[in-house]
A and B are shown apart, each in its own frame.
Chain A
Amino acid sequence: MEYSTLITLREGDICKVARIQAGTTATMRLYEMGFNTGARVQVLKNDRGPIIVGLGGHKVALGRGLAEKMLVARSK
């Protein structure tokens, strides 16, 4: 399985969360918001400013710094 950070993905890409390395607090927060291991995430916007992803039918904006610390597995 190829891992990359969320920030490197492009609009439309779908991936699964593999590992988050953003410090205990931010990691827990993301985990509890549904970015847990295996969660299916779709990149909706990734150009400038926070990245917007779709998660369980809802949109979440994540700071770019955070998206750099999310390891994901691309699924297509």
Chain B
Amino acid sequence: MSPHISFRGVTKRFPVKGTEFTAVDGIDLDVARGEFLVLVGPSGCGKSTLLDLLGGLTSASEGEILLDDVPITGPGLDRGIVFQQYALLPWRTAQGNVEFGLEATGVPRRQRAERAREFLNLVGLTGFEDRHPHQLSGGMRQRVAIARSLAYDPAVLLMDEPFAALDAQTRESLQDELVRIWQRTGKTIVFITHAIDEAVLLGQRVAVLTSRPGRVKEVVPIDLGDRRGTGDPRSSPEFARYRHRIWDLLHDEVTRAQQLEKEVVGR
């Protein structure tokens, strides 16, 4: 079976003050259908650039990204993005925000309301349909955003540090929920984070990126056993082992990233 998403020598350069800045360099990576892949890397390693490329918001300087063997040339509703800052329309209710994505796909009005309710239910927000974003907590807002992305049924879910702005408890419960949703919907998920725990907990594979320019340092397969188990996976010895492994891989990169930042500031 061919991979669902395939990065082939993807490089992205930005012009900065007359010179060029390489954000990501020669990324080769395959994501299988229905896989949960986590990209983890130090700040400024081009994680978000990779996601923008996948979303079709920018185009690669070199190489290409294939989605179902077809190169990505622009944005499309076959990919749903969940942003860190929720990106909810403040003038719409939770229901209206989920319907927003459905309007874009041209789902008939009556079906829209029904589908929106169904997906709000999936993320556990039944009873909150008529609330505006400012009446919801951060965790609930992100749930609405997830429901919105799922409702128009994209093949791939792209998540850009979606839980970074949440408090620890909310983050944990949303992580568990996301795994449950992923298992139920069977979507391919590409998840970006800088948190090692989150990467180990969520990913079937974790791709560790190097600091500037972003390259794939190593892809670590994660096996925590049955994820539907009732125990706390965060406290298992395997979890600690994976966590340490990725910490090791990241450690040098973080130091290097800090060095680079100092150089930039000191210039």
Do A and B come together as binding partners? no
A interface with B by C-beta (< 8 Å)? none
